[in-house]
Amino acid sequence: MREPQRSVGPPIDLQNPLRAGLQGVLALPEFRKLWLGQVFSQLADKFYIVLMVFLIAQYWVTATPPAGGALAEAAGAFRLSIDSRAQLITLLATGIYVANTIPAMVLGLLAGVWADRWPKREVMVASNAIRAGLALLTPLCLLDGPHWLGLSWGYWALLVITFLESVLTQFFAPAEQAAIPMLVPGQQLLAANSLYQATSMGATIVGFALGDPILRLLRHGLAGLGIANGEFALLPLCYGLAALCIAWIRLEEVPQRHADANVWREMADGLQVLRQQPSVRSALLQLVLLYSLLAALYVLAISLASAISSLGPTQFGSLLAMSGVGLALGALAVAQVGHRFNRRRLASAGLGTIAWSLVLLGQLRGQLVGTLGLCAVLGVGAALLAIPAQTTIQEDTPEALRGKVFGLQNNLINIALSLPLVLAGTVVSRYGLLPVLWALAALALAAALLERPWKRC
């Protein structure tokens, strides 16, 4: 295997924050186009989930569900209750989430192989364009037709479309990550990844918070102009704009054709990077740990919110939103001043901050202001860990293998996000919230000590 190829580019003055921070990286015209493409693509991904729930509520769950029927029997087989309209919407939305998650958990490394074989700009443009085309098919799902398990064929068609949308996302993500070090000088990669993290979190907050109002505005606004079903215009527009922004990028790349190469051998080459590059392996493990902790927090937030009289369990999203705000603020701070610090010490500081926040969250249960503030601080710690780790993977992975490594990264992160969602609730029910918070804090602290930040780097 070749030695890692680090990104090259014009030298920049790191003493000048305008060049080393966000302003400097946004001054790169080709990266700016990629970033705008990411903005529209990320928003479209979040709007897609909101649109699916919107359609379920508007067209397939319009009244209290019947007591019997095939759907009720199927729900009973899995010990699920659909006695209310909200419960049925949740059940059907879960089907959308599963269809969206399965490709993310199993296809990442395979998609990364093809992201390395094909020109990355074409992969990104094609994936967004095809997703726009699939989004245009969603109105057809409202047509009358046969029913299965008590539901119209249109719902099952939406599951298929969602699955295909997620498959295409698995090709887009590694190609996008691999393109960043090709467009950004090595000294500005930290700022570029910081901007990407902040944008991703901002798109999550905006997409989920404003998705439903925007869909309703389009529906009623375009209806006033005589255009029915205006809500279906949002996704093709966002994906189409993402494809156009990326299509204008001038990306110097030598296509790697491997007509006779074995796909499984190439997947093994991606795994080989982890064995031969300890820095890449360590950074990837840090990301897996981080996303496992964040996934556990999604479940623990319900218990934390339940202990606050002014919130209650249904308002747990407020705590998650504050952690998102903290992550975005931390990403912006890393973009501006992160280049002044060693990345290993940044990672240790992030893990230590997460551990400290988890311990105090247990001590301040029931206090609204303290809990919100600690969730924000935890988000800052997540940014201190995630951004240097992502930058290290980009820099220390050979260019010809980046797609494979980022595909593997997507696989592992999606597994890391899924398993704690299943396990955390059970563990909390058995042992209580406080021991779980302490155990997670101990895990984060042990990982921080393994970085040995006291040693000279």
CATH number of the domain residue 128 falls in: 1.20.1250
CA trace torsion 115, 121, 127, 128 (10° rounding)? 150
CA 260 to chain centre: 34
Whether residue 92 is found in the same domain as residue 133 = yes
Same domain membership, residue 224 and residue 118: yes
| Per-residue confidence band for 8, with pLDDT thresholds at 50, 70 and 90 | very low
How many domains does the structure of the chain reveal?
2
pLDDT digits (tens, 9 = 90+) for 282-313: 999 999 999 888 888 877 887 888 888 887 77
Task: For 340-360, give one letter per residue: b (16+ CB within 10 A) or e.
Answer: eeebbbbbbbbbbbbbbbbbb
Of 300, 296, 316, whose CA–CA distance to 308 is shortest? 316
Choose between 215 and 134: higher pLDDT.
Answer: 134
Task: Tell whether 4 is covered by a domain.
Answer: no
CB atoms within 10 A of CB 162: 24
> Could you tell me if 179 and 283 lie in one domain?
no
**Same domain, yes or no, for 241 and 348?**
no
Instruction: Report the DSSP beta bridge partners of residue 147.
Output: 152
Containing structural domain, residue 243: 21-187+207-249
pLDDT for residue 29: 93
* 67 has pLDDT over 60: no
Question: Does some domain include residue 2?
Answer: no
Q: Is residue 424 part of a domain?
A: yes
Write the pLDDT tens digit of every residue in 74-96: 555 555 555 566 667 767 887 88
- Residue 288: give its domain's CATH number: 1.20.1250.20
Residues 152 and 282 in one domain: no
Structure token pair of residue 171: 């090709």
Question: Is 202 within a domain?
Answer: no
> Are 371 and 279 found together in one domain?
yes
In a domain, 245, yes or no: yes
- Domain co-membership, 32 together with 154: yes
Answer whether residue 255 is part of any domain: no
Do 163 and 305 have their domain in common? no
- For 147, residues 6+ apart whose C-beta sits below 8 A from its C-beta are 153
Q: Say yes or no to pLDDT of 395 above 80.
A: yes
pLDDT digits (tens, 9 = 90+) for 196-230: 888 887 887 778 777 888 888 888 888 888 787 88
Residue, of 410 and 265, whose pLDDT is higher: 410
To the nearest whole number, what is the mean pLDDT of the chain? 82
Residue range 151-190, pLDDT digits in tens: 788 899 999 999 999 999 999 999 998 899 999 988 888 8
pLDDT of 403 strictly over 80: yes
Find tokens 């060693």 and name the residue: 342
Q: Are residues 409 and 454 in the same domain?
A: yes
Q: Does residue 286 sit in the same domain as residue 238?
A: no
Lowest mean pLDDT among 54-58, 192-196, 235-239: 54-58
Domain membership flag for residue 41: yes
Residue 53 has pLDDT above 80, yes or no: yes
| Main-chain dihedrals φ then ψ at residue 8, nearest 5 degrees | -120, 160
Work out the average pLDDT over 308-326: 79
pLDDT at position 3: 41
The answer to whether position 263 is within a domain reads no
The token duo for 207 is 């997409």
- Among 249, 267, 301, which residue terminates a domain? 249
Separation between Cα atoms, residue 92 and residue 90, nearest integer Å: 6
Report, in angstroms and rounded to the nearest whole number, the Rg of the chain calculated over CA atoms: 23
Give the bridge partners for 152, in sequence order.
147
- Tokens standing for 418? 């899924």
**Do 225 and 370 belong to one domain?**
no
**Do 161 and 296 have their domain in common?**
no
Cα 421 to Cα 415: distance, rounded to the nearest angstrom: 10
Structure confidence by residue, pLDDT tens digits, 138-152: 999 988 888 777 778
- The pLDDT of residue 345 is 87
Is the distance from CB of 378 to CB of 354 less than 8 angstroms?
yes
pLDDT value for 39: 94
DSSP 69-91: SHHHHHHHHTT----SHHHHHHH
Question: Which residues neighbour 356 within 8 Å (Cβ) at sequence distance 6 or greater?
Answer: 377, 441
What pLDDT is attached to residue 82?
58
